[in-house]
Structure 1
Amino acid sequence: MAGIASLGVGSGLDLQSLVQRLVSAERAPAEGRLSRSASSLNAQISAYGQLKSGLAKLDGALKKLSDLGEARSVQVSDTKLVTATATETADLGSYSIKVTSLAAAQSLASDGFADADASLGAGQLSMSVGGTDPVTITLAEGADSLRDVRDAINEAEAGVSATLIKDGEEYRLLLTADETGLANTITVTPGTGMDARLGSAAMTQVTPPADAYFSVSGLALTSASNTIEEVLPGVTLTLKGETEENSTVTVTVGRDDQSTRKAVDAFVSAYNAVIDLTAKLSGYNAETQQGSTLTGDATLRSIRGALPAALGRETGAAWNAVEMGLRSDVQGKLSLDAEDFAARLAEDPAGALASLRGFADGLGEEVRRYSDAEGLLDNRTEGMKASLKAIETQYETLARRMESYEARLVKQFSALDQMVAQMNSTSSYLTAQLANIGKQG
């Protein structure tokens, strides 16, 4: 406000305040309009963000429905001795498992060494497990102590783990095969000039290698590992302990309807959350006559119509959503009729799952049309952001116009101030002259 500080000096009037009030009065209507538009756009952008987040959660629940397979549940009578998992390819059935002995990994212990840091001779160790190709481990001069041997074996990843054990006043090297099984025996051959105690031939076998001996429903079997993956297709057994002589562990593979139900419940929850959100964003308060952020919004109306339409679309599967037990109330929210749902799963598990996947795929495709990157919601949001940038430009234009208007007012009131000052000066002069004439008379 250049020059405005001196306004009113000549006239004695508060012209500075008058200019400020006139500029404010001129600015207020346009500034208020721009502010209301910006607030409305920001509120809509936030609402669209909430809507996109809700649809993304719904899409996640739908993808889990789309990926549903014939899940299996596994019951084990004694998990301290046997554990089991099953994939959807596993046959339904019950099996008795008897564990005679567990698979074991071979362990070898060297003779004692008085000093774990003393040199054992530089050279090369050849190490192999079972029928694998030997691994050559090189020990350099000055880095050839028992500790160095341990570290070099562990770093070589030769299928053997090495540990130092202090036995009284001496140190012993303990080697353990990484894999269990009778065939996985450890062979270590020290090179020329190296301490012969590092060779497996000079070591004591602490734990012999062993295969697992067990039976499935009376069929005697063996395995190099305690994890059995191929005996029962789709079922992985883990042997953890030996059963008593006349007892077995029962493993029962059944349909996992509970996981399917959980996936449907998660979908219903996510769907209803979107319905609640759309109602909140589009609601109208008749008492206050105030709408919500997106009241009357065409995109929101489209979503509210598209969700139930896509859910009810025929997919060619055995049953539609209603026949699978999904029910819609007057607000558009879903619930699941547990009896109908269980009946469909019991009648035709594969058909029921195909039906769930069918309407999940159709509804998911519709949801992603709105929620995906560069989808309808993103396009609308980008349009609003462009409008906000236009408002920023209008703010800048308004600011320049107000500066020009203020400068014009300052110029006009400065002229008025000078004129009034001149008139006051002339008035004072005439008054003084008239007073002098009176004295002369």
Structure 2
Amino acid sequence: MAEIRSLGAGSGLDLDGLVQRLVAAERQPVETRLARNEARFQAELSALGSIKGALSALRDASQGLAGDAGLGVRTATSSNPERFTASAAAGVAPGSYSVEVVSLATANKVATDPFAAAGSQVGTGTLTLGVGGDSFSVTLADGAGSLADIRDAINRSPDNTGVSATILNEDAGSRLVLTARDTGAANTVSVAAAGGDGGLAALTTLTELTAAADAVVKVDSFSFSSASNRVDGVIEGLTLDLVEADPGNVETVTIAEDRSAMIDKVSGLVDRLNGFTSATNRVASYNADTGEAGVLLGDATLRGIEDRIRQITGSQVGAAADPFGNLPGLGITTNEAGLLELDEAQLSRALDERPEVLDTVLAGEDGIATALGAYLGDVLASNSLVANREEGLRSRLDGIGEQREALDRRIERVEARFVSQFAALDGLVAQLSQTGDFLQQQLSNLPGPAGGNN
């Protein structure tokens, strides 16, 4: 902005203030329009963000229910948790099975012959340790070949494929104990020595303390072996965690639907649908009492999303006459406020009559949750209408910043023009004033009544 210091000094008029008022009058309409547009775009962007958040939550809830892992929640109960515990993936068929824990999986543990002490020098060279089908090597140099050095070299090796080394001190001396980190018959420990002074060869003579063994479990009298005590695959989707072997004694695992968890999942979907409805009501409704309208009232993008969600949630899955093929059949209805309500008793009755109803109506290939998840995934994609709308609003906000910069430049030119014009006026008025003073002085010097002298 031009700096005004002495404008009006010649004329005695407040030309400085007049210029400032004229400049402000020139700026105000444009500034008011830009501020109004900026507030509107910011409000629309904020409202769109709240809608996007509600849609994201609904998408996640819908996609979390879709497919086999969604609503078929199962519990797996062991008749004797001191022998084994169990868990079941969603969708596993309910049923009971006999379980006999014949033996547990164990890790191979071996020990070397005794040495005088942990600090006793063993030797130098390369020690190669194997476990299962993998191996790694450590090198012991002069002055670093004690039993303790060897233990530390094994444990610290970045190539260690699964062997833990400790020192066992007993009456006969100190032994290096090697233990496979993984259980299973295939994970046996081996040691080989090469090079150096030959002293490491003493570590290749090993005494087995614990044999490597697989776990053996019988389910409905059929044997199943596992390298670990977490047994997967004997029944697809069922996991048994073996705690203690008890050969000859049979326990039971029971797989059942988790009704409470299933209802909670459906309730969560209802909550997310209501969350979207509430968000829409806040930003796209009209209050007849106050005359206030939401910033997205009549927005075509939002209206299209609302219509499609209503279409999906109001659809019939399967046969038209199926009483359980829609949301009301599952106990989900709309109240007077326009929000959904879940009747848990009705949902339980539907599950009692048709246990797989949620897998079909909500989570199936043509299910409501499946369709919602797919649609909302597209709506919230990076190149979607919502994303493009957000980008458009941000671009408009950036444009307002550029328009303000252009306004500042134009106002500077306007102010400079006013200053120039009023400076000329100031000079003219000053000149006229001087001329008037001169004439007044001359008239006052004239003789007679017109002058000041008699």
Whether these two folds match at TM > 0.5 is yes
Measured in 2, the distance between the counterparts of 1:301 and 1:167 equals 80
1:211–1:7 Cα change, 3 Å: closer
- In the alignment, is residue 415 of structure 1 matched against residue 424 of structure 2? yes
Q: 1:208 to 1:411 in 2, by over 3 A?
A: closer
Q: Tell me the distance in 1 between the aligned counterparts of 2:262 and 2:219.
A: 29
Aligned AA (1:67)? G
72-81 or 246-255, which deviates more? 246-255
Q: Which amino acid aligns with 1:45?
A: L
Question: In terms of mean alpha carbon deviation, does 39-48 or 78-87 score higher?
Answer: 78-87
Counterpart in the other structure of 2:401:
392
Conserved in 2, the CA contact under 8 Å of 1:126 and 1:135? Answer: yes
Match of 1:311 among 289, 310, 313: 313
Counterparts of 1:16-415 in structure 2 under 5 Å?
Answer: 16-69=16-69, 70-88=72-90, 90-99=92-101, 101-125=103-127, 127-129=129-131, 132-133=132-133, 135=135, 137-142=137-142, 143-154=144-155, 155=157, 156-167=159-170, 171-181=174-184, 185-191=188-194, 193-201=198-206, 203=207, 205-209=208-212, 212=215, 215-216=218-219, 225-242=228-245, 249-316=251-318, 319-357=325-363, 358-415=367-424
C-alpha separation between the residues in 1 aligned to 2:106 and 2:58? Answer: 49
Does the CA-based 8 Å contact 1:123-1:139 persist in structure 2? yes
Q: How many residues align?
A: 436
In the TM superposition, residue 21 of structure 1 has moved relative to its aligned partner by 1.0
Identify if the C-alpha distance between structure 1 residues 364 and 189 changes in structure 2 by more than 3 Å, giving closer, same or farther: closer
Report if the CA contact (8 A) 1:328-1:335 is conserved: yes
Deviation, 1:267, is: 1.2
State the Cα distance separating 1:124 from its structure 2 match: 4.2
Cα pair 2:127 2:200 within 8 Å, conserved: no
Change (3 A) 1:15 1:67: same
Identify the range of structure 1 (319-328 vs 168-177) with the bigger mean alpha-carbon deviation: 168-177
Q: For 2:8, what is the secondary structure of its paired residue? A: coil
Alpha-carbon displacement from aligned partner over 1:50-69 (angstroms, at most 9, x marks no partner): 11121111111110121244
**2:440 is matched by which residue type in structure 1?**
T
1:223, 1:375 → 2: CA distance? 49
Between the aligned partners of 1:381 and 1:223, the Cα distance in structure 2 is 54
How far is 1:113 from its partner? Answer: 3.2
Whether the 8 Å contact between 2:99 and 2:219 is mirrored in structure 1 is yes
TM-score (norm 2): 0.83
Q: CA deviation at 1:28?
A: 1.2
Q: 1:136 to 1:246 in 2, by over 3 A?
A: closer
Residue 9 (structure 2) aligns with:
9
Report the CA distance shift for 1:301/1:20 in structure 2 as closer, same or farther (over 3 A): same
Distance 2:369 2:300 in 1: 25
Deviation at 1:278? 0.3
CA pair 334-213 structure 1, distance change in 2 beyond 3 A: same
SS in 2 for 1:176: strand
Q: Give the direction of change, closer, same or farther, for the CA distance of 1:212–1:56 in structure 2 (3 Å limit).
A: closer
SS in 2 for 1:4: coil
Letter in 1 for 2:267: D
TM-superposed deviation, 1:9: 0.7
Normalised TM-score (structure 1): 0.86
Deviation larger for 95-104 or 269-278:
95-104
**Residue deviations 1:214-237, cap 9 Å, x none?**
554566776654333344443221
Deviation at 1:315, TM superposition (A): 4.1
- Please state whether the residue corresponding to 2:199 is helix, strand or coil: coil
Q: Higher mean Cα deviation, 260-269 or 112-121?
A: 112-121
Contact 1:91 1:234 in 2 (8 A): no
Give the deviation of 1:18 after TM superposition: 1.2
1:334/1:3 CA distance change after superposition, 3 Å? closer
Pick closer, same or farther for the CA change 1:421–1:316 going to 2, 3 Å. Answer: same
Whole-angstrom distance in 2 between the partners of 1:247 and 1:134: 37
When structure 1 is superposed on structure 2, of 254-263 and 110-119 the one drifting more is 110-119
Q: Give, in whole Å, the separation in 1 of the partners of 2:45 and 2:193.
A: 73
Q: Is the 8 A contact 2:127 2:194 kept in 1?
A: yes
What letter corresponds to residue 65 of structure 2 in structure 1?
Answer: L
For the residues of structure 1 that align with 2:378 and 2:183, how far apart are their CA atoms? 53
Q: Provide, for residues 286-308 of structure 1, a one-character-per-residue CA deviation record: whole Å limited to 9, x for no partner.
A: 34322222223233333333221
CA displacement 1:379-408 (0-9 Å, x = unmatched): 222333333344334334433332333223
Distance 1:31 1:182 in 2: 81
> Residues 241 and 10 from structure 1, CA distance in 2 versus in 1: closer, same or farther, beyond 3 angstroms?
same
CA contact (8 A) 1:85 1:237 kept: yes
Give how far 1:19 is off.
Answer: 1.0
Q: Which amino acid aligns with 2:205?
A: S
CA 1:224–1:413 in 2, change beyond 3 Å: closer, same or farther?
Answer: closer
How far apart are the structure 2 equivalents of 1:185 and 1:22?
Answer: 94
Q: Deviations over 1:92-151 (max 9, x none)?
A: 32234444653332323334434545542233445445xx45846353432433234324
Q: Using the alignment, how far apart are the partners of 1:171 and 1:120 within structure 2?
A: 12
Query: How far apart in 2 are the matches of 1:366 and 1:233?
Result: 32
Flag the 1:273–1:17 CA change in 2: closer, same or farther, 3 A: same
Where structure 2 has 5 or more consecutive residues not aligned to the other structure, the ranges are: none
| SS of 2:330 mapped into structure 1 | coil
Structure 1 residues 197 and 435: alpha-carbon distance in aligned structure 2, compared to 1, 3 A threshold: same
Equivalent AA in structure 2 for residue 400 of structure 1: R
